[in-house]
């Protein structure tokens, strides 16, 4: 198709303003889905995603409308996946900005506007939920003008009732620029998502930026020069449909016998092997995990299953890394790298839900750099590997630049939180009359605790956080060990700042006392820094036996009690003689 008749766009919105509902309406209006076929929120494919209400993997759908080809690209909306968001936006020329008519512009709305402007996208503001009695579209329009958007006719919609949908589609055609016609240039296709299919191998979602591509053609990944032959390509309507070619401006999928998403990375450029482009498309980054945790099966016999499951998940998730590790306390397991805490939770849930595994996960850690007395530098992902304090010359930890968007009334609270987390203030900018952007440099290890949750609760949900890694800085850090019944438990060791190591040790010991169930014998808990004990508490011995209550006979009651006890045992790990529940391994993340 002539690129004049193509429009590539995405929908951006603050959470719950109606992005998915509007997307469904566009699909329905253009006949991609009949009402009967229409399941709720078709674009959010994965079950987990639907439950959590977040979009993890970008999706793409082609709509036909008035002789135009409209490609709707869905974008994930969480900081852990910010690189994927940025690549999805790079595949578009325009963005529909959905704003709730009763809530108005919120922090994420603003963050999205800036992201869209950064990618040079044409923004179409849509004021949604006008059916609500509390809707105030004039106020929202004024807010949008305030933040600097040029607005003439505002589009008012109720995605729920299906009003204003035609106007949105017409605006996409009129306002979103057609892609440049670069059909005659050498092929360049941007991979903005990919997933692994057990039958077909890796399926890459692509935006053809230049040239064209056909089945049978030899192609090359520009990041690693690997060559493949295209088996099949096509479009999403929304299921996959084969086509004879994809051309400059179009969005679709390519299958080329790639066996592993690691060789088909988001952000990479596919070019022709025979007539390669001289430069890849800009912005490609190799994604590196930011936090590492130990994953251990609660039943050691499940080690092989866990290995298989991780290998399968990795086929679909190029950012997931893992290697085998052993813990004295937990036995055989894996050290797994994640993009952030949400990514970690998603992987954990998938392993438990899709593979039926029962796991214990250790508190996430960042990668520390340690230079010893001889001047040799090592990187450490696991606190248990920390050398003896007297062997260490310099310890460095990763820092991030954090950008916090928020209404100015909460600036005080947010600054206090950053300060408490060893943040260094860098800058503060007023974006408009009462919205502020704060810049801090903060150790990554502080961000991966419950920082984001605290920030949200201190700002009544208004603040958004974005961060990027800026490098390593020296820090005064020490290892805090936990001893149960006198023996150190390697999986409970953490790295903390020297200044608050003592108080951290005391509060952690108290928390563990609450979390570790009483056993048949007393269990002393000690916190230690090197050989110095900084805290000691005791878990008293348990006297009663659960079965004592059931005076003999009643078998079914007895069984129920035992089952209940077994339930309660879920996600526990026996360390020596002591049963430790999952929560205890995460206790170091919680504040007092």
Q: How far is the CB of 70 from ligand GTP (least distance, A)?
A: 19
420 counts as binding ligand GTP under rule CB under 6 A: no
Of 124-132, 410-418, 469-477, 485-493, the window that binds ligand GTP (rule: CB under 6 A) is: 124-132
Q: How far is the CB of 76 from ligand GTP (least distance, A)?
A: 10
Among 1, 4, 51, 53, binds ligand GTP (CB under 6 A): 53
Compute the distance between CA of residue 426 and CA of residue 438 in angstroms, rounded to an integer.
8
User: Which among 7, 32, 222 is positioned nearest to 124, based on CA atoms?
Assistant: 7
Q: How far is the CB of 392 from ligand GTP (least distance, A)?
A: 45
Compute the distance between CA of residue 53 and CA of residue 412 in angstroms, rounded to an integer.
31
461 counts as binding ligand GTP under rule CB under 6 A: no
User: Which among 523, 465, 503 is positioned nearest to 588, based on CA atoms?
Assistant: 503
Among 6, 10, 13, 171, binds ligand GTP (CB under 6 A): 13
Among 30, 109, 112, 158, binds ligand GTP (CB under 6 A): 158
Count of residues that interact with ligand GTP, criterion CB under 6 A: 17
Considering the complex, state which of residue 53 and residue 283 has its C-beta at the smaller distance from ligand GTP.
53
Among 3, 6, 17, 267, binds ligand GTP (CB under 6 A): 17
Compute the distance between CA of residue 84 and CA of residue 446 in angstroms, rounded to an integer.
24
In angstroms, the Cα distances linking 137 to 101, 109, 143, 155, 435 are 5, 15, 10, 10, 20
49 counts as binding ligand GTP under rule CB under 6 A: no
Q: How far is the CB of 39 from ligand GTP (least distance, A)?
A: 14
Structure tokens at 50: 């639907």
Considering the complex, state which of residue 22 and residue 370 has its C-beta at the smaller distance from ligand GTP.
22
Considering the complex, state which of residue 17 and residue 87 has its C-beta at the smaller distance from ligand GTP.
17
Q: How far is the CB of 10 from ligand GTP (least distance, A)?
A: 12
Q: DSSP for 86-124?
A: HHHHHT-SEEEEEEETTT-S-HHHHHHHHHHHHTTPEEE
To the nearest 10 degrees (0 to 180), the angle between helices 165-175 and 19-29 is 90
Q: DSSP for 160-191?
A: TTTBSHHHHHHHHHHHSPPPP--TTSPPEEEE
453 counts as binding ligand GTP under rule CB under 6 A: no
Considering the complex, state which of residue 160 and residue 574 has its C-beta at the smaller distance from ligand GTP.
160
Q: Which residues are annotated as a binding site?
A: 16-21, 128-131
Q: How far is the CB of 447 from ligand GTP (least distance, A)?
A: 22
Q: DSSP for 339-402?
A: SSHHHHHHHHHHHHHHH---EEEPPPB--EEEEETTS-EEEESSGGGPPPGGGEEEEEEEEEEE
Q: How far is the CB of 450 from ligand GTP (least distance, A)?
A: 21
Considering the complex, state which of residue 249 and residue 340 has its C-beta at the smaller distance from ligand GTP.
340
Give pairs for 431-436: CB < 8 Å, separation 24+.
431/110, 431/147, 431/405, 432/146, 432/147, 432/148, 433/146, 434/407, 434/408, 434/409, 435/107, 435/110, 435/147, 435/405, 435/406, 435/407, 435/408, 436/405, 436/406, 436/407, 436/408, 436/411
Among 159, 341, 344, 535, binds ligand GTP (CB under 6 A): 159
What residues from 63 to 122 belong to the interface with ligand GTP (CB under 6 A)?
77
Burial of 274 (0-12, 13-18, 19+ CB in 10 A): exposed
Compute the distance between CA of residue 146 and CA of residue 121 in angstroms, rounded to an integer.
19
Considering the complex, state which of residue 23 and residue 309 has its C-beta at the smaller distance from ligand GTP.
23
Compute the distance between CA of residue 515 and CA of residue 528 in angstroms, rounded to an integer.
19
Considering the complex, state which of residue 19 and residue 209 has its C-beta at the smaller distance from ligand GTP.
19
Among 3, 8, 20, 321, binds ligand GTP (CB under 6 A): 20
Among 38, 46, 132, 147, binds ligand GTP (CB under 6 A): 132
Structure tokens at 555: 């078998």
Among 18, 201, 297, 505, binds ligand GTP (CB under 6 A): 18
50 counts as binding ligand GTP under rule CB under 6 A: no
Q: How far is the CB of 11 from ligand GTP (least distance, A)?
A: 8
Among 128, 321, 421, 494, binds ligand GTP (CB under 6 A): 128
Compute the distance between CA of residue 364 and CA of residue 335 in angstroms, rounded to an integer.
10
Q: Which residues are annotated as a binding site for GTP?
A: 16-21, 128-131
21 counts as binding ligand GTP under rule CB under 6 A: yes
Of 147-155, 158-166, 236-244, 259-267, the window that binds ligand GTP (rule: CB under 6 A) is: 158-166
Positions touching ligand GTP (CB under 6 A) are 13, 15-21, 53, 77, 128-129, 131-132, 158-160
């Amino acid at each position: 198709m002539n690129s004049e008749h193509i429009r590539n766009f995405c929908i951006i919105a603050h959470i719950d303003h109606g992005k998915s509902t509007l997307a469904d309406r566009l699909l329905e209006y253009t006949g991609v889905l009949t009402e009967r076929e229409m399941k709720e929120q078709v674009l959010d494919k994965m079950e987990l995603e639907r439950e959590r209400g977040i979009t993890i993997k970008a999706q793409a759908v082609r709509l036909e409308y008035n002789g135009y080809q409209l490609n709707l690209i869905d974008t994930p909306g969480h900081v852990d996946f910010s690189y994927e968001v940025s690549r999805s936006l790079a595949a578009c020329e325009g963005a529909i900005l959905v704003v709730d008519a009763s809530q108005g512009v919120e922090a994420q709305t603003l963050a999205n506007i800036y992201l869209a402007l950064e990618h040079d996208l044409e923004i179409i503001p849509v004021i949604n939920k006008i059916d609500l009695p509390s809707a105030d579209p004039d106020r929202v329009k004024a807010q949008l003008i305030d933040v600097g958007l040029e607005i003439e006719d505002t589009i008012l919609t109720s995605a729920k009732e299906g009003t204003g949908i035609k106007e949105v589609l017409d605006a996409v055609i009129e306002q979103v620029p057609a892609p440049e016609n670069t059909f005659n240039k050498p092929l360049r296709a941007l991979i903005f998502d990919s997933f692994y299919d057990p039958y077909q191998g890796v399926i890459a979602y692509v935006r053809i930026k230049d040239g064209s591509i056909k089945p049978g053609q030899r192609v090359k990944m520009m990041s690693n020069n690997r060559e493949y032959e295209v088996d099949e390509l096509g479009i999403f309507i929304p299921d996959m449909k084969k086509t004879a070619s994809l051309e400059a401006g179009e969005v679709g999928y390519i299958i080329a016998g790639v066996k592993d998403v690691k060789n088909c990375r988001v952000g990479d450029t596919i070019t022709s092997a025979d007539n390669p482009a001289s430069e890849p498309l800009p912005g490609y980054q190799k994604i590196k995990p930011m936090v590492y945790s130990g994953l251990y099966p609660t039943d050691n016999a499940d080690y092989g299953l866990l290995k298989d499951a991780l290998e399968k998940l990795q086929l679909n998730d190029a950012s997931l890394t893992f290697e085998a590790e052993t813990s004295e306390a937990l036995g055989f397991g894996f050290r797994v790298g994640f993009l952030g805490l949400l990514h970690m939770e998603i992987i954990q849930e998938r392993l438990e839900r899709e593979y039926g595994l029962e796991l214990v996960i250790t508190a996430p850690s960042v990668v520390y750099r340690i230079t010893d007395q001889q001047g040799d530098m090592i990187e450490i992902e696991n606190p248990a590997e920390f050398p003896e304090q007297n062997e260490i010359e310099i310890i460095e930890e990763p820092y991030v630049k954090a950008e916090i968007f928020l209404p100015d009334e909460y600036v005080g609270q947010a600054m206090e939180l950053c300060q408490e987390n060893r943040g260094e203030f860098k800058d503060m900018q007023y974006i408009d009359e009462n919205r502020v952007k704060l810049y801090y440099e903060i150790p990554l290890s502080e961000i991966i605790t419950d920082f984001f949750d605290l920030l949200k609760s201190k700002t009544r949900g208004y603040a958004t956080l974005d961060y990027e890694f800026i490098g390593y800085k020296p820090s005064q850090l020490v290892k805090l060990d936990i001893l149960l019944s006198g023996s150190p438990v390697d999986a409970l060791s953490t790295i903390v700042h020297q200044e608050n190591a003592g108080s951290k040790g005391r509060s952690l010991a108290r928390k563990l006392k609450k979390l570790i169930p009483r056993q048949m014998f007393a269990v002393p808990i000690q916190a230690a820094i090197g050989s110095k004990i900084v805290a000691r508490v005791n878990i008293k011995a348990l006297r009663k036996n659960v079965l004592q209550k059931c005076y003999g006979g009643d078998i079914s009651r007895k069984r129920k009690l035992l089952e209940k006890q077994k339930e309660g045992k879920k996600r526990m790990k026996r360390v020596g003689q002591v049963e430790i529940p999952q929560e205890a391994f995460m206790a170091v993340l919680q504040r007092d």
